[in-house]
Amino acid sequence: MASLNLVQILNGLTLAALLFIVASGFTLIFGLLRIVNLAHGALYLFGGYIGYSVTLGTGNFVLGLVASMLFVAFLGLIIDQGLLRFVRGFVLREVLLTLGVAFVLNDIALVIWGGDTFSVQIPAMLRGAVRFAGIYYPTYRLFVLGLGILVFIALWLLLNRTRLGALIRAGVDDAEMVEAMGINIRRVFLATSMLGASLAGLGGTIGGAFLTLYPTADSEILVFSLAIVIIGGSGSLVGAAVGALLVGMLNTIGQVMFPELAYFVIFGPMAAILAFRPLGLFGRA
Amino acid sequence: MDRRQFLKTTGLTVAASAAGTFAAPQILRAAEPIRIGLMAPLSGVVAAGGREIVEGFNMYWEERGKKAAGRAVEVIVEDDAGNPDTALQKARRLVEQAKVDFLFGNLLANTGLAVASYVKGNGVPYFIPVIAADDLTQRNRIKNVIRVAGYTASQMPRPLADWALKQGYKRIATISQDYTFGHEQCAGFAQVFTEGGGQIVAQLWNPLNTADFSPYIGQLGDLKIDAVFAMELGADASRFMKQYSDFGLKGRIPLLGAQNFTDQSVIRTLGEECDGIISSAHFAEGSDNPETQKFVKAYSAKYGKMPSLYGFSHYSGAMWVDQVIEQLKGDISNRDVFIDAVLKSQLTNSPLGRPVRFDDYGNPIYDVYIRKVVKNKDGKYWNVPIETYPAVSQFWTYKPEDYLKNPPFSRDNQGIKK
């Protein structure tokens, strides 16, 4: 049995940062639209591929990030306005529809990019490892950690300090009441869909640079996101952050200390929370 | 472009086979085509490798004008989806409905084992250029399952272990995907390395499709070792190399790999993180052998990428069987005669540039290269031989009878000498 050290703790934290970026989008959509968006993983992967192609074509990583966010936000718009609009309120149909969208997106990605493994190119200043406290640690992963914290702060400000944020929070609590106040809740739905999707796209490019992009990457990230949302509670930003930290750290601890039980270490606690606190740590009815 | 080409050829093959099935009864027996059922994972995790199986196999028959000993050759391609159930179902369909003369292909060991247990009952010849499970040519031989241009998992890493000892490496850790193919390759390496006086300090096993290798790499960095032996294939291989280099281990601890670790299917999308990795295999696309280079050029011209092990093995496997069909003048109606002829035959003119024959257990004996990943003059990374171990069989230097008395390799039985 190997012991934990600083490197492993940082590994858990950086994975948690990526998972937070992806799961925060998932939890927003889940909380407000009450849709378990099973296409979220596919959006992550598609965004990653877009980010990969744009970064490769232009040689600019930031451009790749922006392009993947915009493109996947646009996909979110199409899914919401073009498909989900017609089955609004029918939970089972909504879930099945998003699952179908996931399959279609994955097959399109397979046609365009093939099944090879790609990794998004990162700028020279983020390559290599930095040395501190007697260890080597990849610069890029520290960047991911920083970005995860930045996204958390930005989302927190958006939700707590802006009108849109207030509407989203109100919508999570009671969408009908918001509508009765004369607010067009559909627009809020749409904005949330696009915001959530763009976070998946951002995660795809960020994650694609160190976890690489390949078919089925989508379902892995989706399963992690589901675990995070169940642990943290749907629609809760703080819940997503705590859930991501738990899942990221447990994943690392599991792989290092109990390699045979790697998945159990994550999903065991998830099952326990489902049984004793069905709404998650920070969820509200 | 290559995908379009692939769809076109597959489409044509499928169309041709459908037409063939309907037209068959009217054609005289002598002129009847030879039907080959090729199974490959064209969807799922290993789809990229599966496509190259079909490419290599079709390329050979196209070069031969789709004929063997004067008889037309029909290749019927089926997708096994990397799933044993699907593979079994497709094998049944090919044999019982499409009436193929023999089966070919599959990529993952579990799909190959499912098909092997099916043909064990009905005697249909089944050729497996990449299914490497040790016991198929060791303790559980099936006469009609033949490794044309194939290899056993533990065969290739042994010369690499010997080479590592010669470099003066004393302490090595292994990391491998946690399934049979990985267990067997690691065991081949660990056995030779420890018997030569080396020490296997740790063995890490990661699940298939590990997105984040950082916990494993963190452990490797702490071990005070001379080298790492890695057995990963597909996306796991790319990710491992990338993260190994990100964590600054590349250049500090030399990286040795199983043959599939630095296969073209992995390194063609990578950059300098794969530079200088040492592996061992019977095929090296960067070999200066003129036959090898001829094949690499032809394959690159046709598909726009250098051949992987999968493409090479199926090209050579098709060639090997074709040479036997020629020798039998196209008559493969007697399966026993056909299988015996294959087992006694020798592969000549292959891209390896030297003849290959089977050992007494139906596994080919190869000259195995120690290969290094370097950049070629086009700026692409490829595997170049730096040393050759002649005539390496699946039994290395052991006597087959003694070797087979030991239990088969597994995760817990790594052949490590204490």
pLDDT tens for residues B52-86? 999 999 999 999 999 999 899 999 999 998 889 99
A129 touches B at CB < 8 Å: yes
DSSP H or E run through A207: helix A185-208
- Are B296 and B309 within 8 A, CB to CB? no
The whole-number pLDDT of residue A33 equals 80
Helix and strand totals (H; E) in chain A: 11, 2
How crowded is the C-beta side of B55, counted as CA atoms within 13 Å? Answer: 29
The answer to whether B2-127+290-353 and B157-287+367-403 have equal CATH topology is: yes
Please indicate whether residue B260 or residue A267 has the higher confidence score (pLDDT): B260
The whole-number pLDDT of residue B19 equals 46
Question: Considering chain B, what percentage of its residues have pLDDT values greater than 70?
Answer: 92
Contact A8 B211 (CB under 8 A): no
Q: Which residues contact B5 (CB under 8 A, 6 or more apart)?
A: B302, B303
Spell out which residues of chain A touch residue B248, defining contact as CB-CB under 8 Å: 128-129, 131, 136, 138
B42-101 residues touching A, CB cutoff 8 A: 43-48, 51
The whole-number pLDDT of residue B11 equals 54
Q: What is the pLDDT of residues A51-65, one digit of tens each?
A: 999 999 999 999 999
Burial of residue A149 (CB within 10 Å: 0-12, 13-18, 19+) is middle
- Is the pLDDT assigned to residue A1 strictly greater than 90? no
- Is the pLDDT assigned to residue B203 strictly greater than 90? yes
The whole-number pLDDT of residue B24 equals 45
∠ CA A48-A54-A60, nearest 5°, is 110
Confidence of residue B387 (pLDDT cuts 50, 70, 90): very high
A203-232 residues touching B, CB cutoff 8 A: 210-212, 214-217, 220-221
Q: What is the pLDDT of residues A6-22, one digit of tens each?
A: 888 898 999 999 999 99
A53 touches B at CB < 8 Å: no
CA distances from A27 to A37, A171, B7, B112, B337 (A): 9, 13, 40, 42, 65
∠ CA B107-B108-B111, nearest 5°, is 100
Which of these ranges, A1-10, A93-102, A272-281, B227-236, has the smallest mean pLDDT? A1-10
Q: Tell me the CA end-to-end span of chain B in Å, nearest whole number.
A: 54
The whole-number pLDDT of residue B9 equals 56
- Are B185 and B231 within 8 A, CB to CB? yes
Confidence of residue A128 (pLDDT cuts 50, 70, 90): confident
Alpha-carbon dihedral B289, B292, B298, B303, rounded to 10 degrees: -130
- Are B129 and B149 within 8 A, CB to CB? yes
Segments in B72-140 forming alpha helices (H): 84-92, 109-122
How crowded is the C-beta side of B371, counted as CA atoms within 13 Å? Answer: 31
Contact A255 B216 (CB under 8 A): yes
Total number of residues shown for chain B:
418
What value does the mean pLDDT take over residues A62-71?
96
A176 to chain B, closest Cα gap in Å:
41
Spell out which residues of chain A touch residue B214, defining contact as CB-CB under 8 Å: 7-8, 11, 14-15, 141, 252
The whole-number pLDDT of residue B277 equals 96
The whole-number pLDDT of residue B5 equals 60
Total number of residues shown for chain A:
285
What value does the mean pLDDT take over residues B226-230?
96
Please indicate whether residue A152 or residue A253 has the higher confidence score (pLDDT): A152
Q: Which DSSP symbol is given to A123?
A: -
- Are A64 and A173 within 8 A, CB to CB? no
In chain B, whose CA is at the least distance from the CA of A214?
B235
∠ CA B82-B84-B90, nearest 5°, is 90
Q: What is the pLDDT of residues B4-41, one digit of tens each?
A: 565 555 555 555 444 444 444 444 445 689 999 999 99
Confidence of residue B198 (pLDDT cuts 50, 70, 90): very high
List of domains in chain A: 6-276 (1.10.3470)
Q: Tell me the CA end-to-end span of chain A in Å, nearest whole number.
A: 42
In chain B, whose CA is at the least distance from the CA of A8?
B215
DSSP B160-193: HHHHHHHTT--EEEEEEESSHHHHHHHHHHHHHH
CA distance B82 to B88: 11
Alpha-carbon dihedral B316, B322, B323, B327, rounded to 10 degrees: 170
Segments in A34-125 forming alpha helices (H): 40-58, 61-78, 91-113
Question: Considering chain A, what percentage of its residues have pLDDT values greater than 70?
Answer: 98
Segments in B24-70 forming alpha helices (H): 47-63
- Are A73 and A130 within 8 A, CB to CB? no
B180-219 residues touching A, CB cutoff 8 A: 204-207, 209, 211-212, 214-216, 218-219
Please indicate whether residue B196 or residue B45 has the higher confidence score (pLDDT): B196
Q: Which CATH superfamily is domain B2-127+290-353 in?
A: Response regulator (3.40.50.2300)
Listed residue (B251, B274, B265) closest to B371, CA to CA: B274
Put residue B168 in one of left, alpha, beta given phi > 0 → left and psi -120 to 50 → alpha: left
- Is the pLDDT assigned to residue A3 strictly greater than 60? no
Confidence of residue B43 (pLDDT cuts 50, 70, 90): confident
Please indicate whether residue A147 or residue A269 has the higher confidence score (pLDDT): A147
Burial of residue A70 (CB within 10 Å: 0-12, 13-18, 19+) is middle
B3 to chain A, closest Cα gap in Å:
8
Alpha carbon B28 to its chain's center: 37
- Are B49 and B310 within 8 A, CB to CB? yes
Name residue, tokens 């990526």: A18
The residue ranges of every structural domain in chain B are 2-127+290-353, 157-287+367-403
The whole-number pLDDT of residue B31 equals 65
Please indicate whether residue B207 or residue B193 has the higher confidence score (pLDDT): B193
A209 to chain B, closest Cα gap in Å:
9
Query: Encoding tokens for residue A11?
Result: 């590994």
Q: Which DSSP symbol is given to B328?
A: T
- CB-nearest partner of A8 from B44, B215, B238: B215
Q: Which CATH superfamily is domain B157-287+367-403 in?
A: Response regulator (3.40.50.2300)
- Is the pLDDT assigned to residue B2 strictly greater than 60? no
Spell out which residues of chain B touch residue A8, defining contact as CB-CB under 8 Å: 214-215, 218
CA distance B167 to B277: 14
CA distances from A126 to A6, A137, A147, A213, B52 (A): 20, 11, 13, 19, 35
- Are B362 and B147 within 8 A, CB to CB? yes
The whole-number pLDDT of residue B4 equals 59
- Are B199 and B186 within 8 A, CB to CB? no
The whole-number pLDDT of residue A52 equals 95
Mean pLDDT score across all residues of chain B: 89
Q: What is the pLDDT of residues B334-377, one digit of tens each?
A: 999 999 999 999 999 899 988 999 998 889 999 999 999 999 99
The whole-number pLDDT of residue B10 equals 56
> How many inter-chain contacts (A to B, CB under 8 Å) are there?
100
**Helices A91-113 and A40-58: angle between axes, nearest 10 degrees:** 30
Q: What is the pLDDT of residues A255-283, one digit of tens each?
A: 778 777 777 888 888 888 888 888 888 87
Q: Which DSSP symbol is given to B95?
A: I
CA distance B307 to B284: 10
DSSP H or E run through A20: helix A6-33
